[in-house]
Amino acid sequence: MAKANFEVPELQQYLEVPAVTPSTMAHSSPFVSRLEFQEPLGFPGELADDWQARALDKFGELLGKYRSLRVYLDSCVKCGSCTDKCHYFLGTKDPKNMPVGRQDLMRKVYRRYFTLAGRFFPKLVGAEDFTKEVLDDWYSYFHQCSQCRRCSVFCPYGIDTAEISMAAREIMDSIGMGQKYCNEIIAKVYKIGNNLGLPGPALLDTLEGLEEDVYDDTGVRVRYPIDKVGAEILLVTPSADFFAEPHVDGLIGYGKVFHEAGVSWTISSYASEGANFGMFIGSYENMRRIAQRIRKAAIDLKVKRIVFGECGHAWRVAYSFLNTLAGPWDFLDSRYPVPQHICEFTHGLIQEGKLTFDKSQNDDKVLTFHDSCNVARASRMGDRPGGQFDIPRAVIKAVCNNYYDMDEETIRDRTFCCGGGGGLLTDDLMELRVKGAKPRVEALNNVMAEKGVTHMAAICAICKSQFTKVLPFYGMDMEQIVSVHQLVSNAIVLTPGEDDEEPEDEDDENRDAEDDDDED
Ligand code: SF4
Ligand code: SF4
C-alpha cells in the first residue's frame, strides 16, 4: 500500500454521506503559476495592486459574455440536492466542496458587486466584499473541482458548477493568479507541440520502437507513422499515449486496428497532442489556439479524416467545440464524422465484421468500465443517444469474455470522477486526488468483491494516470487500470503483410523506399 502523509479514507460497502467538517481542505492549493508560464498564454505574471478592480472588470465581462453564468448565480434555491453528489465532498467532508458551497464562493461576490440588493444590503443577501482572503479561498476551492459536472445531473435547475469553476479560473488567470500545472503545460504545447514537451525526433524514435516491439510480439509489421503527407486519417491523441502505461498499450491497439482496416494514417509532430488544457482554465482564446494546431496539421498533411484517441476532455473539446474553435472542416471527407472517436471507429469495423478477435487472450482478466466524466456528461459518441456509454462497452465485450458493470448509481451519466480531472492531476494536489477518488474506488472494490473483477478499463488519459497513482493508496495494484484499446490489442488477430516474412535488413530497405515514396 502506498504511504500517505494524510489520512486515506476507509472504503465503505455503501456510499456514506459524511458529517460536515469545515475547512478540512482549506490548506489544499496548487502551486501558483510564474511569469514564464503566464506570459505565453497572454496573462499577467503576478498579482497587481489593483487586482480587485481588474478581477471585477473581468467578472463583469464574463457575465455579459456567458448568460449561463448569470443564470447559474441567480437561480440556486438552496434545495440541497447537489450537496452529497461531489466526490470531493464525499472524500474530504469539507462543506466548501459541496457544489452549492463552491458556487457560493462566487455567488457572494456576484451579489455584492452585480446586484442591487447586494450593493445596498449586503448582509441581508449573503453578499461579501472581494477581499484577498476571499480570493485565496477561490484559488483553493476552485482548484478542488474537477469540472466533472456530476452535480449538474442532480440539480433541478441544471446549474453547472464546472462552468462556474472555469469562470473563476479565468478571472484568476486574468489578474496573474494562474495555476502552474495547467499553464506550464499549455505553454509547452505552444512551444513544442505537446503537453510533455516531447520533440519530433523523440516521437519518431518512440514510434519506431513501437513498430519493432509489435513485430517482435506478433511477426506482423504494423506501422506507426508520423508526418505522413496524404494519409487518409490524422490521429490526434494525448501525448501520454506515446510513453505512459497503460496509455501506450492503447496506442499500440489503435495501430493494429488501422492495420486491419487497411487505412493509411498518421500522427502529426506539429499537433502531437489531443489534450486541450485551455478548457480547464476556462480560456476560450487558449482553447482556440490549441485547437487551431489540429486544423493546420490536417491541412498540411492533406488528410481526409480526423480520429481522436482515448482522452476524455480532448473528446469533449473535439466533439462539442471543434467546429466553433477551428472549423469549418469542409476540406475533409464529408462521409465521416468530424471528429470521430477511436472507439467509434473500432466499433464500426466490429459491426461490419472486419475485425477478428481471439477473446481468450483477455481471459486472465475480469473487466469493468469506468465512464470518464467528459465523455459521459459532456459529449456523445456515434449516432445514437447514449453511444458514449454503449460503444466502449460493446468494444470491450467484443474482445473480452468476462465483463461486469459497477453499481448503476456510479456509472454512465452518474459516473464518479477519477479525482484527477479538470487540471488537478498534479502531485501538489495528491491528498485531494486520493480523497476525491474514494467513491469510484469504493464502487470498484465492491465489484471486485462481488463479481471477481480484476481490471478496470478507461478511455481517458487523465483517468488512467490518476488511477495508476491513487489505486495503491487503497491497497490496489496500479496495473488494474487498463486502456480499452489495450484489450483490443491483446485480442485482435492480425493479418500478415507482404513484407512480414522478409529478412530484417531487406525489410528495412523496403521501408526506407516506402518512406521515400510517401514523401513524394
Ligand atoms: S463539477 Fe464535479 S468536482 Fe465540481 S463541484 Fe460538481 S461534482 Fe464536484
Ligand atoms: S441542487 Fe441546484 S438549486 Fe439545489 S442547492 Fe444545488 S445548485 Fe442549488
Res 501: pLDDT: 60
Closest ligand to the CA of 74: 2
What is the share, in percent, of the chain residues with pLDDT greater than 70? 96
What pLDDT, on a 0 to 100 scale, did the predictor assign at position 314? Answer: 96
Other CB atoms within a 10 A radius of the CB of residue 516 amount to: 9
Q: Render pLDDT for 12-50 as a digit per residue (tens, 0 to 9).
A: 998 889 999 999 999 999 999 999 999 999 999 999 999
Find the helix or strand (DSSP H, E) in which 340 lies: strand 340-341
Which residue, judged by its Cα, is nearest atom 6 of ligand 2?
82
CB 86 near ligand 1, within 6 Å: yes
Ligand 1 centroid to 135 CA: how many Å? 19
- How many helices (H) and strands (E) the chain has is answered by 23, 7
Q: What atom in ligand 2 is closest to the CA of residue 161?
A: 7
CA of 158 to the centre of ligand 2 (A): 8
Confidence of residue 2 (pLDDT cuts 50, 70, 90): confident
Helix, strand, coil tally for the chain in percent (to 5)? 55, 5, 40
Distance 80 CA to ligand 2 centre (A): 6
Question: Could you read off the pLDDT of 344-388 as tens digits, one per residue?
Answer: 999 999 999 999 999 999 999 999 999 999 999 999 999 999 999
Distances (CA, A) of 452 to 210, 336, 366, 396, 448: 33, 39, 7, 17, 5
Which ligand minimizes its atom distance to the CA of 374?
A: 1
The atom of ligand 1 lying closest to the CA of 148 is 2
Q: Which atom of ligand 2 lies at the shortest distance from residue 79's CA?
A: 4
148 CA from centroid of ligand 1 (Å): 5
Residue nearest to atom 1 of ligand 2 (CA): 155
pLDDT grade, residue 499 (50/70/90)? low
Q: Per-residue pLDDT for 500 more than 80?
A: no
Question: What integer pLDDT is reported at residue 121 of this predicted model?
Answer: 97
pLDDT at 1 over 80: no
C-alpha cell at 425: 492531476
What ligand is nearest to the CA atom of residue 102? Answer: 1
432 lines ligand 1 (CB under 6 A): no
Q: By CB neighbour count within 10 A (0-12 exposed, 13-18 middle, 19+ buried), where does 77 fall?
A: exposed
Mean pLDDT of the chain: 94
Neighbours of 108 (CB within 10 A): 19
- 163 in ligand 2 pocket by Cβ < 6 Å? no
Residue nearest to atom 3 of ligand 2 (CA): 76
514, pLDDT greater than 60:
no
User: Which ranges of 66-196 does DSSP label H, i.e. alpha helix?
Assistant: 67-75, 87-92, 99-114, 116-120, 132-141, 150-154, 161-174, 180-192
Res 509 pLDDT > 50: no
246-287 pLDDT, tens digit each: 999 999 999 999 999 999 999 999 999 999 999 999 999 999
CA 55 to CA 48: how far, in whole Å? Answer: 11
195 C-beta closer than 6 A to ligand 1: no
User: Does residue 518 surpass a pLDDT of 80?
Assistant: no
91-120 pLDDT, tens digit per residue, is 999 999 999 999 999 999 999 999 999 999
Q: Residue 158 CA: which ligand 2 atom is closest?
A: 2
Question: How far does residue 9's CA lie from ligand 1's centre (Å)?
Answer: 19
113-161 pLDDT, tens digit each:
999 999 999 999 999 999 999 999 999 999 999 999 999 999 999 999 9
